[in-house]
Structure 1
Amino acid sequence: MAIRFGTNPIAWSNDDLPELGGDTPLETCLAEASQAGFAGIEKGNKFPTDPAALVDLLGSFGLDFISGWYGAELRRRDAKAELAAMRPHLDLLKACHCEVMVFAETSGTVQGLMDVPVADRPVMAEADWPIFLDRINELGQRMADEGVRIAFHHHMGTVIEAGAEIDRLMEGTGPEVGLLLDTGHLTFAGEDPAAIARRWAHRVNHVHAKDVRPHVLSRARAERWSFLRSVVEGVYTVPGDGCVDFIEALNPLAEVGYRGWLVVEAEQDPAKAHPLTYARLGYRHLAAAAKEAGFQFEPSAESLAGHALRRPARTA
């Protein structure tokens, strides 16, 4: 599959904070995602869970179904139990011909707690690592046998957040466990997305492209904000509106011939950051950066990739 550009509904309505965009109709999200130029979209909590209904609905807006988030608890249950827990979601992805599952280890996570600093996240005990790696290797093989591969999402507030944890995960697993490269979470965690991409480009099977506003990030760290408060205050934004160098982050992927989705995923308060406006800005910047990094992609995206990289005015 050639590289394609997609988005996530979190810019229109937030699954973790339903009050952000909770009254925005799903049809508005899908229509505006299509208007912005995206070819596909990831799952949100307003989406149908019947495969036929989901594909038909997205297709009516010219969108493909990319994948969807799954929060695992492999530190607490074995691979067989995890597979049983994810079965409805896995079957949905299979029925919709998705190639990857957005997969995070969320046991003990603080990502959804408004009053707990993200710095107080859980840390995996040394004795737990071999057990965890064995379980995720087994689960990755079982899922690959069913045609859907793990795209492991390192995430703020979880046990796999820092570069050293990503390295250990990748070093301790086989190719059935792919890496979701998220530029925003890496930057928030104090990592260089380009450095992680250089180390693990050959294992990356999905990309979330979001930018970070450095002045908000500085306050989040200094004042020990929770992850959710950081989101509400605007720590994340779309590509081109923050401090992430997307050309540098995408270069290693282009060099190894990455083929898959580049997904603009920037959770913001839609009352502060008009979703369609930011979706268009993010698409244009990401497409231009991808072209500069050396990617070749579908003609439908070529016109947008020709725009010069620029930084939009900050309104959130």
Structure 2
Amino acid sequence: MKVRLGINPLTWTNDDMPELGAETPLETCLAEARLAGFAGVELGNKFPRVAGQLKPILEAHGLALVSGWYGSRLLEREVDAEMAEAEPHIALLTALGCTTMVQCEVTGSVHGQKATALTCRPILARAQWDVLLPRLDEMARRLKARGLSMAYHHHMGTVVEAEDEVDRLMAGTRDVGLLLDTGHLTFAGGDPVRAARRHAARVVHVHCKDIRPGVMADVKARGLSFLDSVLEGVFTVPGDGCVDYPAVLAQLPDYEGWLVVEAEQDPAKAHPLTYARMGHDYLSRVT
């Protein structure tokens, strides 16, 4: 593997719950990401979205921009409209040298709704798959022409959550790349080792999120929402949970890209720099 280690600013400040880490300035996030040893960061809600402003900030900390999340609504609109909506984001990523764009279909998603149980998340009918898959593939081709691989992020509370849905997404597309998220797949009841082995050739981005199995069992038994599960501490950094990272990474011998530590936690309970260092040091040992 030829990999670089990056981190998502969720460690310090949460996009879906901005009150978590609201008091932490971007300067702290970036300085501590570099202090922990990371080479790059993904976008977060405190980042300026103008390339001329963001580039010198990242350069001052010796950090590259890894990628950034884009929530698409391709079940609701055509590819032309989606590309137009995504254009500022695409332009920012390309201007800063990114090669992947993290994308997730968020039509009907419940992951940002604190009062809605994960069991209420949308399940696609066959006719909806028949709409979504060709649109994703077409958008992936257009992104490729712009120098970006679509890294599709299967995510709790969305239309592609379970392992069989990831399989269906991969089988029904050709140009869509896969963002393998070890934590989300485990939370969804899947096996990240099996998924990595099955889809190794399509993996273009990896989110390294670990799971506390006791917390996972508890939040599932209580029927909690995604955000309440985060607050309960279901996620943690690699090496602090039950995901077998050596086994996952062994399935990706030809992967060349970023391994991104991404662990939504309450920074008041999980000291950001401490956990950032834990994640970095663990991945450094197993790669």
- TM-score, reference length from structure 1: 0.90
Specify the code of the residue in structure 1 equivalent to 2:210.
D
The CA deviation at 1:82 is 0.7
Q: Which residue is equivalent to 1:53? A: 53
Distance 2:2 2:211 in 1: 27
Instruction: Note the 1:215-254 alignment, pairs <5 A.
Output: 215-254=214-253
Q: Which residue is equivalent to 1:168? A: 168
The CA deviation at 1:55 is 1.3
SS in 2 for 1:80: helix
Q: Which residue is equivalent to 2:257? A: 260
Question: In the alignment, is residue 287 of structure 1 matched against residue 280 of structure 2?
Answer: no
Distance 1:229 1:133 in 2: 31
Q: Which residue is equivalent to 1:148? A: 148
Specify the code of the residue in structure 2 equivalent to 1:10.
L
What do the CA deviations read for 1:116-136 (whole angstroms, capped 9, x no partner)? 111110001111111111111
What do the CA deviations read for 1:197-239 (whole angstroms, capped 9, x no partner)? 0000100000000110011101111000000000011000001
Specify the code of the residue in structure 2 equivalent to 1:186.
L
Please list every run of 5 or more consecutive structure 2 residues that lacks an aligned counterpart in the other structure. Answer: none
What do the CA deviations read for 1:239-273 (whole angstroms, capped 9, x no partner)? 1111110001111112xx11000000001000000
Distance 2:209 2:284 in 1: 13
SS in 1 for 2:159: coil
Q: Which residue is equivalent to 2:190? A: 191
Distance 2:141 2:78 in 1: 13
Specify the code of the residue in structure 1 equivalent to 2:120.
D
Distance 2:134 2:173 in 1: 8
What do the CA deviations read for 1:94-150 (whole angstroms, capped 9, x no partner)? 111110001000000000001111111000111111111111111111111111110
Question: In the alignment, is residue 40 of structure 1 matched against residue 37 of structure 2?
Answer: no
The CA deviation at 1:17 is 0.2
Distance 1:208 1:56 in 2: 26
Q: Which residue is equivalent to 1:277? A: 274
The CA deviation at 1:52 is 2.1
Please list every run of 5 or more consecutive structure 1 residues that lacks an aligned counterpart in the other structure. Answer: 291-316
Question: In the alignment, is residue 15 of structure 1 matched against residue 15 of structure 2?
Answer: yes
Q: Which residue is equivalent to 1:111? A: 111
- Deviation >4 Å, runs of 4+: none
Specify the code of the residue in structure 2 equivalent to 1:202.
A
SS in 2 for 1:127: helix
Question: In the alignment, is residue 92 of structure 1 matched against residue 92 of structure 2?
Answer: yes
- TM-score, reference length from structure 2: 0.98
Instruction: Note the 1:56-67 alignment, pairs <5 A.
Output: 56-67=56-67
Specify the code of the residue in structure 2 equivalent to 1:16.
D
SS in 2 for 1:3: strand
SS in 1 for 2:147: coil
Q: Pairwise CA RMSD of aligned residues?
A: 0.9
SS in 1 for 2:101: strand
Specify the code of the residue in structure 1 equivalent to 2:169.
L
Instruction: Note the 1:200-211 alignment, pairs <5 A.
Output: 200-211=199-210
SS in 2 for 1:228: helix
SS in 2 for 1:71: strand
Specify the code of the residue in structure 2 equivalent to 1:88.
P
Distance 2:96 2:185 in 1: 29
SS in 1 for 2:75: coil
Specify the code of the residue in structure 2 equivalent to 1:137.
D
Task: Give the stretch that moved more between structures: 1-10 or 79-88.
Answer: 1-10
Q: Across the two proteins, how many residue pairs are aligned to each other?
A: 287
